[in-house]
Amino acid sequence: MSDANYKEIIWNGLWKNNAGIVALLGLCPLLAVSTTVVNGVGLGIATVLVMAFSNAIVSMVRQWVPGEIRIPVYILIIAVLVTIIDLAMNAYMQALYLVLGIFVPLIVVNCNVLGRAEAFASKNPVFPSMVDGFMVGLGLTLTLAVLGGMREILGKGTLLSGIDLAFGESAKAWVITVIPDYHGFLLAVLPPGAFIGLGLLIAGKNWLDQRKAASTDALKAPESVVAAA
């Protein structure tokens, strides 16, 4: 696989086909967990891990899986993988489990994981599949971080609250109070706030894309711009 293809995988995962704001897959955990930056990034990291590994394994076994039963086999692989990660984290990384543990089972029902297994890993070699899973997961993490940030500022007036759960008591000092003496805006914390926030993010991405498309057109046809001016 050439470098250009990796570039495309990365660009698709992070921006062009972003799981959260373009593909709109896996919205259930996205909407439930994006109440704060820390929660959002927590789910994001867990998703990155699961997607990279599940894509790699699906790609490894792809020639032994008959087409008719590929979906049940992929679901089985993903469920086994998520359960193993859940158990292993609980047993050997207790501190991390206390923070991320609650998100891990949510990933079984994240259709991004199955979506990438079906759309990419079942047709591509192991390493590119792993990169694809990693990048799609990272794209979702970025969306979760931005959405979590919006909802946290509006809902609680802070940023990074709960970071002490990941980095210990001293990290409490990292919490940024954006709006002092804020009494909270419940709508932003509740599920409707997640839908509205996600809608704004999608609109924002489309606006950026359209602006970029417009400026590329303008470069191609400078005369028309002059004429219009």
Given the rule CB under 8 A, which residues bind another protein? 32-33, 35-36, 39, 64-66, 68-69, 72-73, 76-77, 79-80, 83-84, 87-88, 90-92, 94, 102-103, 105, 162, 165, 186, 189-190
Residue listed under structure tokens 């000092």: 173
Least distance CB 31 / another protein (angstroms): 11
Distance CA 139, CA 122 (A): 21
Distance CA 63, CA 122 (A): 9
Toward another protein, which CB reaches closer, 106 or 135? 106
Least distance CB 84 / another protein (angstroms): 5
Toward another protein, which CB reaches closer, 9 or 33? 33
Q: Which long-range contacts (CB under 8 A, 24 or more apart) does 76-84 make?
A: 77/117, 78/50, 78/54, 78/108, 78/113, 78/114, 78/117, 79/108, 81/50, 81/53, 81/54, 81/57, 82/50, 82/107, 82/108
Q: Which residues contact 191 (CB under 8 A, 6 or more apart)?
A: 31, 32
Distance CA 115, CA 50 (A): 13
Burial letters for 200-209: b for 16+ Cβ neighbours within 10 Å, e otherwise? ebbeebeeee
Toward another protein, which CB reaches closer, 69 or 179? 69
Toward another protein, which CB reaches closer, 10 or 126? 126
Least distance CB 209 / another protein (angstroms): 30
Beta bridge partners of 158: 177
Toward another protein, which CB reaches closer, 139 or 162? 162
- In 3-state terms, what secondary structure has residue 158? strand
Least distance CB 190 / another protein (angstroms): 5
Helix (H) or strand (E) holding 33: helix 27-33
Toward another protein, which CB reaches closer, 9 or 100? 100
Least distance CB 59 / another protein (angstroms): 15
DSSP letter at 179 equals S
Least distance CB 66 / another protein (angstroms): 6
